[in-house]
Amino acid sequence: MSASPLHQTAARPVLQPEGGVQPQGVLKLEGVEKSFGANKVLQGVDLSISAGEIVVLMGANGAGKSTLVKIIAGVHDADTGSIALDGVAFNPSSPAEAIRSGVCIVHQSINDGVAPDLSVAQNLLLDRLCNGETGFFFTPGKARKEAQTIAATLELDLDLDRPVRELNLADRQLVSISRALAQNPKLLILDEPTSSLSQREAERLFTIVEGLRASGVAILYISHRMSDIRRLADRIIALRDGRITGTFEKPLNYEAAVNAMLGHGLLATRNQAGERGEHLFEARDIVLKNGSAPFSFALARGEIVALTGLVGTGKSELAECMFGVRKPLSGAFELLAKTYDPASPGEAIAKGVFMAAKDRANSSIIPGFDIARNLTLPFLTSFSTMGTLNRRRENQSARIMIDQLDVVCQSEQDMLSALSGGNQQKVVIARWLSQPSRVLVLDEPFQGVDIRARGDIGRKLRETAQERATLILTAELDEALEVADRILVMSNHTIVGEHRTADLDMDALLAQISGASIIAQQAASVSDAAHGN
Amino acid sequence: MANTAKAQTRFRDLAIRYGFLVLLLVIVIFFTVMEPAFMSLRSMVFIFQSVSITAVLALGVTATLVVDGFDLSIGSVAASSMMTASYAMVVWGLGSVEAVALCLLLGLGVGLFNGLLVVVARVPDLLATLGTMFLLLGLQLIPTAGRSIAKGMMMPDGSTSTGEFDKSFLFLGRHRLWDIVPVSVIIMLALALVIWFFLEFTRWGRVMYAIGSNELASRLAGAPVSRYKIAAYMISGVSASIGGILLAARVGRGDVSSGNNLLLDAVAAALIGFAVLGVAKPNAFGTLVGALFVGVLLQGLTMMNAPYYAQDFVKGSVLVFALVFTFSLTRAARR
């Protein structure tokens, strides 16, 4: 029978919402503790999730969210405490066992969830291929048919034969989520699933998640994004320093939840708008893509400008042009009123144009290096005499930056892999703040960063902004509003609007973001979602 | 309880860091007890001399491993360099300085060729250098029609060669400073020192490690990645040609079949080097110790009358042991 996976899920007796009137406790954790060495990561965590419920888990970086998820997923064992699934003790010794028991996880790190060289169809069926259910002969035709069924149910609008490596991050994320959903999970854990999705794609994900809730799947949703939380949460659990510091039932009090997560209310990051000096950087008649309209803009000393727009509208391409990674099809840049046409990132850096690229794990971090050596990498000349490095000076400089950005670590000689996501991002930002720049471009600097770290980074950018022009690329409107003086809107590889944050016309901004060429219906759903905030 | 856990971690860290060096010490002591002559100066010098050419090649390979590349052509570069030196002196009658310069140029040229294949033509490193290896193995046979080169050899056109190996050239392979330390050992130690310093303490070395760890991030941090990669292959090529010069100077003829084992021995030494100090990455000190480790083991076993044909088995065992040590223990400790 070719019933869709979702319907199969609904058909599980335990999960039938109409069957048992009172919600079934699908997952129950009691007194779970976990230490790594002397470090107590989880201390007495109690948690229960029922079928057909979305529980949002909020926690700052390092609060223990990932550890909790890994224990449920069978990656780690709890030191003490008990876990029950459907009332039966549940101690998965491996992720595979957890999956067999109906616990599926979509990890934050997108590339963990897909096999890049396989096609979309093969990825969707990966778990089934791996556990041998498919039998010895599994013809491509049969695979395609099954994958098509899955894709249709999940409204996955991708070419099933394309290798995943050719997809952008957002599409990979959808594949990885779809792959988990193809398992008919009882409990689905989503770890910051929207962190690289555009609003439209996030909207699609929300619809899928709501459908799953209706069919009786229990969902543990980990996120920092208020828009996600407002949209989905039935219950919020705040985790801080390995303890549950608050459980919030409907009607949900979001401020109280944020407070419980951080231990203090949110400080407003927005400082006074920066003093706007002379133009440091100008772009004239830039064309990024065949057929896209040329655009111009200028960046002034002292201001922070946000470039916003949906994922895939050309923001990163513009940043790469400014940093010498690629060239615009036509048009020219000027830096300090002189022609600026960098042939390589090295030349851009030498001229004072710095860029922190998006997706830090792939494009910023040197995993084999400690914090200090990651920080100094672009500026080694200034830490060396006749080519010989001065380690003491490097460490000194690193300690100053760690201190200034409040990076949580033992010392500057920690490996970056030992830091939480937010602290890794702080190190990446600190690298480019450690030397004076004329233009600083930050591509999605708040990706996978909790609210507190985001506040720290925003404040630091503002403090240091006077002597340079700062351009922040973000698909998140609230991030742009929080940190920038001025917002440029990009759509279809061109700049379609400009706003001052101080006197913002929200409707016009949203209309520009949604873009003229996108079908009216989709545009409407984007702006609806944004208005829903 | 936390204290014992901490002490355990500390002990494990120490074991990973110094385990291999302690093992080397234990092996030396074992051989000394079994065969007191093992500890003699003569035997020690012999060990160093036996590994000197391998170590020189291995140090070059280390540079390519650092940028996450690989150079399979070093063995044939060494052999070609040996043939070049012999041909230059025996057939063309050149002096030792010209011969050495020619060999070094050959090494640099092959390194450049490898680098361009990898960087510009985007051939995967293993395949590119495999191709070069094959190319050179064939190329070195052509000028002499497959014959080895020695004084008074018969040329393909029927004439007899007139030149001979320069005395000062043979000095490189056969002379012993203070009647005990071979010149080749001095060259090996000097090259190890230079490459160690370069990789550990200069900004160029730092960038090479960065490229090996994350190429994209290094490029976006401003590193001219292509140039560094080409440079790494050129370092490898020139080291291999130095190895070839030492080999030619030691045997005093251009032998077509020598240098067969050099590639495997050198790569093994560099990989064993990952385990020394437990750093799990290519490093010059580790490479040198790796080469010596194999040398000590072979010398000791030979003195204890182990059969000659068991040597490769011993090398393989050490390599597998070192790789397991590197990739299981060290990686686990990093978690």
| Contact flag B201-A355 (C-beta cutoff 8 Å) | no
Q: Report whether B239 contacts B94 (CB < 8 A).
A: no
Give start and end residues of each alpha helix (H) in B87-224.
96-119, 125-139, 167-174, 183-201, 203-213, 215-220
pLDDT at residue B254 is higher than 90: no
Share of chain A above pLDDT 90, in %: 19
CA dist B273 and B253 (Å) reads: 32
| C-alpha distance from B161 to closest chain A C-alpha (Å) | 48
pLDDT at residue A281 is higher than 50: yes
| Average pLDDT of the segment spanning B46-57 | 91
* Among A392-406, A509-523, B144-158, the range of highest mean pLDDT: A392-406
A188-202, A464-478, B262-276 — which is least confidently predicted? A188-202
Q: Does B11 touch chain A (CB under 8 A)?
A: no
Q: Report whether A68 contacts A42 (CB < 8 A).
A: yes
Continuous segment of H or E residues that includes residue A43: strand A39-50
| Contact flag A369-B210 (C-beta cutoff 8 Å) | yes
Q: Report whether B269 contacts B291 (CB < 8 A).
A: yes
Q: Tell me the domains of chain A and their CATH numbers.
A: 5-17+25-262 (3.40.50.300), 279-365+437-532 (3.40.50.300)
3 state SS of A500: strand
A4-8, A179-183, B48-52 — which is least confidently predicted? A4-8
Higher pLDDT, B164 or B208: B208
Continuous segment of H or E residues that includes residue A473: strand A469-474
pLDDT at residue A523 is higher than 50: no
Confidence of residue A266 (pLDDT cuts 50, 70, 90): very low
Confidence of residue A227 (pLDDT cuts 50, 70, 90): confident
pLDDT at residue B251 is higher than 90: no
Confidence of residue A533 (pLDDT cuts 50, 70, 90): very low
Question: Which pLDDT score, from 0 to 100, does residue A521 have?
Answer: 38
pLDDT at residue B15 is higher than 90: no
The residue of chain B nearest to residue A361, with distances taken between CA atoms, is: B217
| Average pLDDT of the segment spanning A428-449 | 90
Question: Which pLDDT score, from 0 to 100, does residue A37 have?
Answer: 62
Q: Which two tokens stand for residue B215?
A: 């190429």
CA dist B243 and B110 (Å) reads: 14
| C-alpha distance from A43 to closest chain B C-alpha (Å) | 16
Measured in degrees and rounded to the nearest 5, phi and psi for residue A504 equal: -100, 135
Q: Tell me the domains of chain B and their CATH numbers.
A: 18-29+37-334 (1.10.3470)
- The pLDDT tens digits of the residues spanning B86-110 come to 888 888 888 888 899 999 999 999 9
> Long-range contacts for B34-39 (Cβ within 8 Å, ≥24 apart)?
B34/B300, B34/B304, B35/B300, B35/B303, B35/B304, B37/B303, B38/B299, B38/B300, B38/B303
pLDDT at residue A370 is higher than 50: yes
Confidence of residue A517 (pLDDT cuts 50, 70, 90): very low
* Dihedral class, residue B158 (left if φ above 0, else alpha if ψ from -120 to 50, else beta): left
Confidence of residue A532 (pLDDT cuts 50, 70, 90): very low
Higher pLDDT, B299 or A173: B299
CA dist B79 and B110 (Å) reads: 13
Q: Which of A362, A368, A383 sits opposite B216 (nearest CB)?
A: A362
Question: Which pLDDT score, from 0 to 100, does residue B276 have?
Answer: 85
Q: In which order are the strands placed within the sheet that holds A295-300?
A: A295-300, A279-287, A330-335, A338-340
* Among A157-161, A173-177, A364-368, the range of highest mean pLDDT: A364-368
Q: Report whether A269 contacts A434 (CB < 8 A).
A: no
Continuous segment of H or E residues that includes residue A97: helix A95-100
Q: What is the mean pLDDT of chain A?
A: 79
Confidence of residue A196 (pLDDT cuts 50, 70, 90): low
For residue A91, give the DSSP letter: -
| Average pLDDT of the segment spanning A73-102 | 83
Higher pLDDT, A327 or B170: A327
Q: Is the torsion defined by CA of A26, A30, A36, A40 positive or negative?
A: positive
CA dist B316 and A369 (Å) reads: 31
Q: Does B334 touch chain A (CB under 8 A)?
A: yes
- The pLDDT tens digits of the residues spanning B63-76 come to 999 999 999 999 99
pLDDT at residue B228 is higher than 90: yes
Question: Which pLDDT score, from 0 to 100, does residue A33 have?
Answer: 87
* Dihedral class, residue A37 (left if φ above 0, else alpha if ψ from -120 to 50, else beta): left
Q: Under 8 Å CB-to-CB from B319, ≥6 apart: which residues?
A: B268, B271, B272
| B218 interaction partners in chain A (CB closer than 8 Å) | 366, 377
Q: Facing residues of A225 across strands? A: none
Measured in degrees and rounded to the nearest 5, phi and psi for residue B88 equal: -60, -40
Share of chain B above pLDDT 90, in %: 43
User: Residue A287, exposed/middle/buried by CB under 10 A (0-12, 13-18, 19+)?
Assistant: middle
| C-alpha distance from A320 to closest chain B C-alpha (Å) | 10
Q: Report whether A520 contacts A194 (CB < 8 A).
A: no
Q: Under 8 Å CB-to-CB from B244, ≥6 apart: which residues?
A: B77, B78, B79, B80, B81, B82, B84, B85, B103, B107, B259
pLDDT at residue A367 is higher than 90: no
| Average pLDDT of the segment spanning A397-405 | 90
| Average pLDDT of the segment spanning A393-413 | 87
- The pLDDT tens digits of the residues spanning A114-126 come to 787 888 888 887 7
| A368 interaction partners in chain B (CB closer than 8 Å) | 209-210, 212-214, 281
